[in-house]
Amino acid sequence: MNFGAETPAIVPLCWPSADGRCGCGRRDRETGNPQPHTNHDVGKAPLVGWKRYVHTPPSRALVAAWWKRWPQANVGLLLEPHALIVIDPDSHEALAEARALGLPRTLTVRTAKGLHFYYRCPAGAPARRALNRTASRKLDVLSAGYITVPPSRHRLQVTYTIIEPAPVVPAPAWAIRFLLEAPAPIDRVVGAELPVTVGEVDLGALPVSLRIKRLIIEGHDPERYPSVSEARWAALQALIAAGVDDSTIAAVMLDARFGISAKPRAEGRCWLAREIGRARAKSDVLILP
């Protein structure tokens, strides 16, 4: 599954054995005794502490190391880094309810119990999990946490499969409403408040060094930053350290003239607002001159 990221924000999950039991061989950390996953955790429990990767997605090298260690691991996709919303009707009744509310054609995955509908998260939509909605109490709308994705295998021996390879489109309004009504999670980084439209930036007038201006134009600096994401983070931190406001930062990051804009334009304003908020929360990071 491709969501336009240089490295998908994925984590390894437990996988089921041929008889539907825990196949990852989990052991108690203190005693070393077998402590297999049970029930719904089989095939879905994360093998790493996934929350640390919500705002700093794992590197390509780390992902490769995980799957070298656990080659049979199921795949969990973190929703927030990709600015995704998944509508998850967990019964025939819930699916009928979702269709009655309106389900625009989008990327769709068949699971062991039904379907997952993938949508883009619009600007302003919260990162939450609206669970047990509608009369059936079986309809979930998710924009936070992780979701099991193809080619993972469920404990019932059903393989997650893409059945509608359509482009991912914006989420319907009712799904956003459910998220807004859901309880807010604790300790969330507050995303930046961005204007509806942003203007064109005079790069020469920005109060940052020539090196940072060149980084913005080219979008990478292999000598200083091993990855494009690290280069983009450095540009964000430099703009914040220079006192540039969020609207101007957004204008820089969304300007197609600049190489730095590739991922922000691909991921959208919701993702960019979170990135700016995350950068402000860590704005004490040292910026090299």
Q: Is pTM beyond 0.85 here? A: no
Q: What are phi and psi of 275, to 5 degrees?
A: -65, -40
What torsion, rounded to 10 degrees, do the Cα atoms 226, 229, 231, 232 define? 180
- 214 and 127 assigned to the same domain: no
pLDDT at 1: 66
Q: What's 97's domain CATH number?
A: 3.30.2250
- Residue 289 contacts residue 240 (beta carbons within 8 Å): no
Residue 194 in domain: no
Looking at the structure, tell me whether residues 42 and 149 fall in a common domain.
yes
Residues 213/252, Cβ–Cβ less than 8 Å: no
Q: What is the pLDDT of residue 109?
A: 97
3 state DSSP class of 169: strand
Measured N-to-C along each axis, helices 228-241 and 246-253 cross at an angle, to the nearest 10 degrees, of 150
- Single-letter amino acid, residue 5: A
Strands, E, within the chain: which ranges? Answer: 10-13, 74-78, 84-89, 108-110, 115-120, 129-133, 139-142, 146-149, 161-164, 169-170
Do 18 and 148 belong together in one domain? yes
Token pair 């040292």: residue? 286
Give which of 265, 236, 246, 233 is closest to 193, Cα–Cα.
246
In a domain, 3, yes or no: no
Question: Which pLDDT does position 29 carry in this prediction?
Answer: 60
Residues 20 and 163 in one domain: yes
Q: Residue 186 domain-assigned? A: no
pLDDT for the residue numbered 3? 55
Q: Which residues of the chain have pLDDT under 50?
A: 186-187, 189, 284-289
Q: How many domains is the chain partitioned into structurally?
A: 2
Residues 216 and 126 in one domain: no
For residues 37 and 154, state if they share a domain. Answer: yes
Q: How far apart are CA 233 and CA 242, in angstroms?
A: 14
pLDDT at 288: 34
Residues 155 and 273 grouped into a single domain: no
Please check whether residues 22 and 138 belong to one and the same domain.
yes
pLDDT of residue 287: 33
Task: Tell whether 189 is covered by a domain.
Answer: no
Convert the pLDDT of each residue in 85-121 to its tens digit.
Answer: 999 999 999 999 999 999 999 999 999 989 999 999 9
Q: Give the residue numbers spanning the domain of 63.
A: 10-181
pLDDT of residue 5: 53
Give residue 55's pLDDT: 83
26, 168: one domain: yes
- pLDDT for 2 equals 59
Give me the pLDDT at residue 186, please: 43
pLDDT of res. 285: 35
State the pLDDT at residue 6: 60
| Same domain? 135 vs 241 | no
